[in-house]
Structure 1
Amino acid sequence: MSGERQSSKQEKATFGAGCFWHVEDAFLKEPGVISTQSGFMGGTTENPTYEEVCTGRTGHTEVVEVTYDPDKVTYDRLLDVFWSIHDPTQVNRQGPDIGVQYRSVIFYHNAEQQKLAEASRERIQKASSKPIATSIEPAGKFYRAEEYHQRYFEKTGRRCCGV
């Protein structure tokens, strides 16, 4: 894949924080991130299309799978990016984007990620006057979104999601 940075050590992190175009763009800017993929996770349909996910009937969330070098960026730092790019108090929406596919979720890939994600959510909750809606769930099968969704902002020059 073009644009990938070479590294000998790689781990994955998966986040849902609204429209995956915005989420992917934020993580691509983070030093230590090797690559990103926009896709879907957490639903019941095999190989869902974007159009199917948008109906809300598949149960999938728009997510970004982040491949990163843990020697160059910590999972805690990736969590900081996640919390900073969306409103985790909104249920099944981000701004004008409404539906289960836009929910706030951290999909963890191992017990350490789960522990760190839960601790970060507790910190965010203590600082918030509203309940945090972000769920923390084990990562399931990742379905890569259609090619036109990958690095969307780079391809189109657009710098925002939504209306």
Structure 2
Amino acid sequence: MDKNFLNNLKYLYDPVEIAFAWSEMQSQAIINHPEFGKISPNDYRARFNGKVCPFCAQRMVHGQDLHMTRSRDEAISRKYQYADKNGNKKINNAGGIYYHPHYVTLDHVVNKARCPELMFKADNLQIMCWKCNVEKGDNNSYEIELILDFTRDIAREALERYKPL
């Protein structure tokens, strides 16, 4: 990969240019992963087909032929529609394509719009399902908040089971 391309990422400010750079490199071995070596974002995601999302514990799916459609009605019939945390009906959609809610995504720990130079850095990428990725959005404290909610739930359950004396 051209080192100038990676070096020039830090000069991207326009969200359209950032999205273009990300989409153009999906099939290029641009991520230098410590375990997988040089790998493309597409190949990275494919390795997690059938694995459990680390945030919601649902099995993730991969493969556009099996888990995407251009028809909203077909997406609904395939049960791609779900309720978000506010109870609103949602279907994951990118570029007019509807995806399974647990389709494998690569999330940027630090948003690529904030630090485009980290866009293809392995330590800035984490695997999660699309539903969790949408829920996380640009919230860099998402994982900490999940742990806090989990800890509160455990404490509440313990207090209900074992009443204080």
Query: Which range, TM-score by smaller chain?
Result: under 0.3
More strand by share: 1
Q: Compare relative contact order (CA 8 Å, sep 6+) and give the higher one, 1 or 2.
A: 1
TM-score by length of 2: 0.23
- Name the structure where helix makes up a greater proportion of residues: 2
TM-score, L = length of structure 1? 0.23
